């Protein structure tokens, strides 16, 4: 039965245990009068009251319930219909990483840079800046629901990354559960009111109170997220942890913690790994490698990509540099090695900054190339003061 017909039926018949409100049917028990307490029990083939002290039940095949179903409930698409259907183009917030009006999962071990990477994505989406000057972005209003860090930690990082006023809002120090219908409705209303296009959930574990290894429970979490997408047109990005891997096991789509149902409904799964070190200026460096483990779209990352995140403690800001696709990165390092040798043949005794100004292969690739050339005994360096001057080995 269609919604309008259902509403008319309720009005005409005034049945005691069905109430239409907020776009859904609430099944209220006529015996104990508890609101929305009737649950569907497939094993017993009945609706029964969920209250412990109440024994009310009604046969699912009763004439009363049959009033709500008829042959018009299903619309059949024929072969001709399918052949004549015009397939919609695929849309992205960030092409091809973040599909529009869908769920994207970003997974990694703890401390590998999930939240930091998500904030970089948020900045690019909010400002409309192409990610790494390479991947197209649709300018979007972004809401971040951070359930892990406190306000001081969030603001400290935010000020380091975000230097311009862009449409990024936060929900901080407020408990949100997507499994709570009241909270879900409140979020839906806020998305519509503020015209958000993207919501980032940090982290998945903190936005529900269900058992993550229970596929049935995770189906309900996914159902609520997909319902939110249908009703608001929002794009959801959630951050999630990896489980502990077995000895010899590599990171993959199945590395996500909990039931496989968690990943089942995502349209894009981005897996992160990273390493930490300090550069010659004592800046903290986080080098992140990103792979797209799942993509429902025909567009996807062909190779892993890498970026370097620099935490400049003197300037109190976080910067990032795209290092390219991993296969491409190896080619650029080889290209840098050849170019450095050519430069040193004509002009011995150059500084790293001279090479950075002259070559367009990226400063990180230049430094790696120099390190490899020194280890191969093709290039040597001489320290004068704080500077290293490079020469060909004669």
pLDDT of residue 89: 85
> E strands, 232-340, where?
235-241, 268-278, 284-295, 305-312, 317-325
CA distance 147 to 170: 10
What's the pLDDT at 46?
A: 67
Contact 379, 391 (CB under 8 A): yes
Instruction: For residue 194, give the nearest of 149, 140, 154 by alpha carbon.
Output: 140
b/e code 364-377 from CB counts within 10 Å (16+ = b): bbbbbbbebbeeee
| Block residue for tokens 């052949």 | 83
- The values of phi and psi at residue 42, to 5°, are -70, -30
Check residue 324 and give left, alpha or beta (phi > 0: left; psi -120 to 50: alpha).
Answer: left
In this structure, are residues 148 and 177 in contact, taking their beta carbons and an 8 Å threshold? Answer: no
Token couple for 121: 């994505």
Report the predicted TM-score, pTM, of the whole model to 2 decimal places.
0.68
One digit per residue, pLDDT tens: the chain, 394 residues?
344 554 454 455 544 445 544 444 556 676 677 766 666 555 556 667 777 777 777 665 555 445 544 545 568 899 999 999 998 888 999 999 999 999 999 999 999 999 999 999 999 999 999 999 999 999 999 999 999 899 999 999 999 999 889 999 999 999 999 988 899 999 999 999 999 999 999 989 999 999 999 998 999 999 999 999 999 999 999 999 999 888 777 888 888 899 989 999 999 999 999 999 988 888 899 999 999 999 988 888 888 999 999 999 888 999 999 998 876 667 778 888 998 999 999 888 898 888 888 887 778 888 888 988 988 889 998 888 878 899 898 7
Q: Domains (ranges, CATH) in the chain? A: 3-73 (no CATH), 92-245+252-315 (3.40.50.300), 328-392 (1.10.10.10)
| Cβ atoms of 128 and 287 closer than 8 Å | no
Task: Assess contact for 332 and 306: CB atoms under 8 A.
Answer: no
| Cα(332)–Cα(367) distance, integer angstroms | 12
Q: What Cα–Cα distance (Å) separates residue 360 from each residue in 328, 330, 365, 387?
A: 14, 15, 10, 22
- Residue 119 to residue 134: CA distance in whole angstroms: 18
Question: How many other β-carbons are positioned within 10 Å of the β-carbon of residue 306?
Answer: 20
Rounded Cα gap, residues 54 and 46, in angstroms: 15
114-127 and 151-161 helices cross at what angle (nearest 10)? 50
* Beta-sheet strands, E only, within the chain: 18-21, 24-27, 38-41, 46-49, 57-59, 92-94, 98-99, 103-108, 142-146, 168-172, 198-202, 235-241, 268-278, 284-295, 305-312, 317-325, 379-384, 387-392
Sign of CA dihedral 155, 161, 163, 164: negative
pLDDT of res. 3 = 43
Cβ 161 vs Cβ 119: under 8 Å: yes
> What's residue 60's pLDDT?
55
Judging by beta carbons within 10 Å of its beta carbon (0-12, 13-18, 19+), is residue 129 exposed, middle or buried?
middle
Count of CB atoms within 10 A of residue 187's CB?
A: 22
């Amino acid at each position: 039965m269609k919604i309008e017909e259902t509403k008319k039926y309720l009005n005409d018949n005034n049945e005691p245990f069905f109430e239409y409100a907020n776009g859904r049917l609430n099944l209220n028990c006529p015996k104990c009068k508890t609101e929305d307490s009737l649950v569907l029990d497939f094993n017993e083939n009945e609706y029964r009251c969920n209250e412990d002290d109440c024994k009310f039940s009604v046969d699912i095949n009763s004439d009363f319930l049959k009033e709500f179903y008829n042959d018009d409930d299903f619309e059949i698409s024929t072969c001709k219909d399918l052949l004549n259907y015009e397939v919609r183009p695929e849309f992205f917030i960030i092409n091809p990483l973040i599909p529009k009006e869908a769920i994207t999962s970003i997974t990694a071990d703890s401390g590998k840079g999930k939240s930091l990477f998500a904030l970089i994505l948020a900045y690019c989406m909010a400002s409309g800046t192409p990610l790494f000057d390479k991947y197209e972005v649709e300018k979007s209003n972004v809401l971040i629901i951070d359930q892990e860090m406190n306000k001081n930690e969030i603001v400290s990082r935010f000020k380091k990354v975000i230097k311009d006023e862009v449409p990024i809002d936060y929900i901080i120090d407020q408990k949100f559960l997507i499994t709570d219908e009241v909270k879900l409705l409140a979020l839906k209303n806020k998305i519509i009111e503020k015209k958000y296009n993207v919501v980032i959930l940090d982290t998945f574990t903190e936005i529900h109170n269900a058992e993550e290894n229970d596929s049935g429970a995770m189906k309900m979490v996914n159902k609520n997220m997909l319902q939110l997408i249908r009703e608001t047109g929002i794009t959801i990005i959630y951050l999630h942890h990896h489980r502990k891997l077995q000895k010899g096991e590599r990171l993959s789509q199945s590395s996500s913690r909990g039931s496989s149902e968690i990943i089942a409904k995502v349209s894009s799964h981005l897996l992160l790994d990273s390493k930490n070190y300090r550069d010659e200026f004592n800046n903290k460096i986080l080098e992140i490698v990103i792979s797209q483990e799942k993509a429902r779209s025909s567009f996807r990352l062909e190779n892993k990509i890498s970026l370097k995140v620099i935490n400049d403690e003197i300037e109190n800001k976080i910067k990032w540099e795209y290092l390219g696709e991993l296969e491409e990165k190896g080619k650029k390092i080889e290209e840098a090695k050849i170019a450095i040798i050519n430069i040193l043949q004509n002009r011995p005794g150059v500084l790293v900054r001279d090479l950075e100004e002259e070559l367009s292969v990226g400063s990180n690739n230049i430094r790696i190339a120099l390190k490899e050339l020194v280890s191969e005994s093709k290039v040597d360096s001489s320290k004068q003061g704080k500077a290293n001057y490079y020469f060909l080995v004669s």
